[in-house]
Chain A
């Protein structure tokens, strides 16, 4: 599994910075990621991702093991975060919840991104294709995302697959529109004409010249999409159409804690802190990258 940070730090292919003729010696994304804002984000995201990856080592119990004591308080021996209503260790559930979220996100976001980009490439090929693709995006955007989630789950039944699918469906128009816009802008640039005059085929110009330069905003979109993915997973859990119990996800643990907020606030504490750290970190990274691109 590629961690979020790797994905973001990797940056665009070298062609992008060369073509833009950046004077600074450092890679543009690297300089964006070394700002205080981005560093805070990377630390937050890194900590959560690491906790999720190391869940089997860090968790003292299985995520679905039940101990005798339900709704144990913070700092109970053996259960640092306490236990939930069924006596399951909350620390373990949160750690494995992170792991489950990462697993879903790591499939769904790339899937949506790739499909969205493919749509954009199809749209770039022909004006008629462009119109069709645009309308498909409009329709995907017109349905409130969570209604879509309810419908998809009604068709497929609850589980991981519908969650992944709903996230991917939400990401398709986001990535597709961005790349389509980028291609349209780059296509008018002089270097494209130069490449055409130089005898490159239409496909080669698109893949080797336009695409690397149009891909810039996509990097930011990846960070944004990861946030959206965390959001959708949690929302679906709250709507009761998320991953099937007893498997923990961050959203599932949080929604299970709702009826016990007054009795055992520590039930909600773990997922609250984790989700906040994760989405805040991702937003900070996205914002730092965005600033760099808009300069």
Chain B
């Protein structure tokens, strides 16, 4: 496993490096100068020049890039340009909120996905199987902004049991936090849960058709044990890869869901940062997202090999 990691790491770092370069370049292509934005519409040229000087914007681009990478390596991200406060604090807060949302969504994905998969593959009732199929097809097709509006309509407006948007940090008031968390997490989770459910259903159906299941049935193993101990575990490896890919989707989708539910996460921060040309915040944040994405892919491969002993970390 160690040798596998050692071989995978350089390429992961290379992707990060390429991404950092791309992020830096794209950000400098954005019209509008942070100093002008920061100084306000009425500022005179001298003020703008002073701000440019303070932020180091007059330095050659390459040295600005080197400065940025240096700040990442030392861990001292410096102050934000426009939003206010330290970049690290802003990103930390956003990351906390987005992680909360993504983890909760992942929980929904696993729970709902397993339910869809197991019910769809093994339920004796045709109605339940049809209901699962219709639900997964719809959940997969409908964009989050439609399901989001529907969820708010149903749970916040009609039933009035959950708040329509906003966030209470989990550590401040857990019970209240959960109420605020349910709808955005569910909205984010639905498409991925449907994908997972479909794969799991196919996997379980294939697994239950295997010869060893027939043998085990003949030997008197209970159907429930067949499902949970044999068919389901064997359907897991491809599902884990899928789940890894879905984590990427969840992070990407979080940007939209945060906008729908006024959830103060990384997506909202990116939006604000781009609008106000806050270079440090935006570039650190984007690189963080790419890094998480790369890390998740790496972990996925490792877990995959762990679940399926036939694959070696070669």
Chains A and B form a bound pair: yes
Which residues of A pack against B, CB within 8 Å?
138-139, 142-147, 150-151, 154-155, 227, 230-231, 234-235, 238-240, 251, 254-255, 257-258, 261-262, 265, 268, 272, 275-276, 279-280, 282-284, 287
* A238-B259, A254-B146 given; A144·B26 CB < 8 A: no
Chain A's nearest CB lies how many Å from the CB of B15? Answer: 7
Which residues of the partner chain A approach B149 to less than 8 Å between Cβ atoms? 254, 257-258, 261, 268, 272
Nearest CB of chain B from residue A246's CB, rounded to whole Å = 20
In contact, A261 and B271 (Cβ under 8 angstroms): no
CB distance from A42 to the nearest CB of B (A): 15
Across the interface, do B252 and A151 meet the contact criterion of CB distance under 8 Å?
A: no
- Nearest A residue (CB) for B32: A154
Residues of A within 8 A of B290 (CB): 142-143
Q: How far is the CB of A289 from chain B (nearest CB, A)?
A: 15
Asked whether A146 and B267 contact (CB < 8 A) given A265-B153, A279-B142, the answer is: yes
Q: Is the CB of A280 within 8 A of B141?
A: yes
Complex interface: chain A residues within 8 A of B64 (CB): none
A287, B153: Cα distance in complex, Å? 29
Residues of B within 8 A of A (CB): 15, 18-19, 22, 26-27, 29-31, 137-138, 140-146, 149-150, 152-153, 156-157, 164, 248, 251-253, 255-256, 259-260, 267, 270-271, 274-275, 286, 289-290, 293-294
B19 touching A238 by the CB < 8 A rule? no
A222–chain B nearest beta-carbon distance, Å: 16
Contacts of A151 in B (CB 8 A): 26-27, 30, 274
A144 near B145 (CB under 8 angstroms)? no
How many residue pairs at the A-B interface have CB separations less than 8 Å? 110
Which chain B residues border A239 with CB–CB below 8 Å? 255-256, 259, 271
- B141 near A282: Cβ-Cβ < 8 Å: yes
Kindly state the separation between the CA atoms of A269 and B149 in the bound complex, as whole angstroms. 10
Tell me the dominant secondary structure on chain A's binding face: helix
Contact B19 A144 (CB under 8 A): no
Contact B145–A234 (Cβ < 8 Å) = yes
Measured between beta carbons, the chain B residues less than 8 angstroms from A146 are 252-253, 255-256, 267
Contacts of B29 in A (CB 8 A): 155
Q: Note all chain A residues with C-beta closer than 8 A to B22.
A: 139
A155 contact from B31, B152, B253, Cβ within 8 A? B31
Task: Please give, as numbers and ranges, the residues of chain A lying within 8 Å of B255 by CB-CB distance.
Answer: 144, 146-147, 150, 239
Are the CB atoms of B26 and A155 closer together than 8 Å? yes
Known: A143-B290, A272-B149. A150 touches B18 (CB 8 A): no
Chain A residues positioned under 8 Å from B248 (CB to CB): 144
Cross-chain contact A262 with B157 (CB below 8 angstroms): yes
A271 to B103 Cα, complex, angstroms: 30
